[in-house]
Amino acid sequence: VNVHNGWNANHAALNGDKNNETDGWGDHVTPFHSPQGTAGEWVQDPFGFAGYTYTGPGFRLPFYIISPWTRGVNVYTEHCDHSSQILFLEKRLAAKGNPFTQHEMNTWRRANMGDLTRAFDFEHPDYSVPKMPNASYPSTDKKVPYGIQNETTALKTEQGFKVMRGNPTEGRYLVFEANGQSLTNSKGFLVGSQCKPKHDAKEQRFVLHQQGLTKFTITSAVDGKAVKGLDGIYTIWDLGRGEGYTIQDTASQKYIALDSQGKVTMSKTPTGFAAFSVKLHMISRHRRVGNFIWLSIALQEIAE
């Protein structure tokens, strides 16, 4: 991809395959799916195993987007399935003056699956040619397991963070930063405090609980409770183009603002927060295999 003369004008999207990517372990998280009875989504299992069941989306799998506009340690957080690429093509061709509509896609998928547009930051591309590591040709007759592998090591996850792109969804620790400060739980009150390089301070981590497509209640990672000043229902929206996220109180219609001195206020003017998805090292009873979306050959987090 990166040596082609069209590197600065194209992207490559690579899908994982649900039959080959899970190594037989499967995914412990129930897939996001439509309410029972949704038109075009629920069927009676003709084989008699699942009864009346949803047809998708399926469990989580890797998906890469490789391009100059998705490079960096990023994670696209909107719900996606294969129809997301069709939605992206609809948006792309409409912008070029050649609109089309895929009529077979039902209303629920159109309303709930991401169209991938916010995965791209067209305002801040990186057209430099990335340096790729030299990989040896894989053995065709290698004894397994490779290295020292057992159930204990298979249950480990990497610790780290990714910069969020796309409208948020549930299932991750989030840190919100603006003007060198992070939203912070200080003894049950919302304040600002200096950003941490690894975004790992517990008092700066929050969890979203979805109340609608873009509406959430927010709790602190400290005690699982809402903090004073962040205890309503909020619309959280990705502005796109690297401008960050707005956090708007649905009752007052005002936005949370955070200045360089750590002062939190409610304002009529939106503040664009950088949002980081943070994953801590932990051991689970189940292997974490299925992933949401991978961008720029960077591993997406696995939901805690």
For the chain, domain boundaries? 1-32+47-128+141-158+282-304, 168-279
Q: How many angstroms separate the CA atoms of 237 and 247, rounded?
A: 7
What share of the chain in percent tops pLDDT 90?
A: 63
For range 29-44, the mean pLDDT: 90
Q: 51 near 284, Cβ under 8 Å?
A: no
Buried b (16+ CB within 10 A) or exposed e, 21-48: bbeeeebeeeebbbeeebeebeeeeeee
Distance CA(226)–CA(99), nearest Å, equals 44
DSSP 102-171: -TTS-HHHHHHS--SGGG--TTS---SPPPPPP-PPPPSS--SS-SS--HHHHTB---EEEEEESS--SS
CB atoms within 10 A of CB 99: 10
Among 24-28, 46-50, 175-179, 185-189, name the one with the lowest average pLDDT.
Answer: 24-28
Beta-sheet pairing, 63-66 with 294-295: parallel
CB 66: neighbour CB atoms within 10 A?
A: 19
> 289 pLDDT exceeds 60?
no
In the numeric block, which tokens belong to residue 242? 């690297």
- Quote the Cα angle for 291-293-298, to 5°: 95
pTM of the complete model: 0.82
CATH of 168-279, one of 3.30.420.40, 3.40.50.1360, 2.20.130.10, 2.80.10.50: 2.80.10.50
| pLDDT in the model for residue 102 | 94
Alpha-carbon dihedral sign for residues 169, 173, 176, 177? negative
Asked whether the beta carbons of 10 and 4 are under 8 A apart, the reply is yes
Report pLDDT digits (tens) over 97-133. 999 999 999 999 999 999 999 999 999 999 888 788 8
Report the pLDDT value the prediction gives residue 281, as an integer from 0 to 100. 54
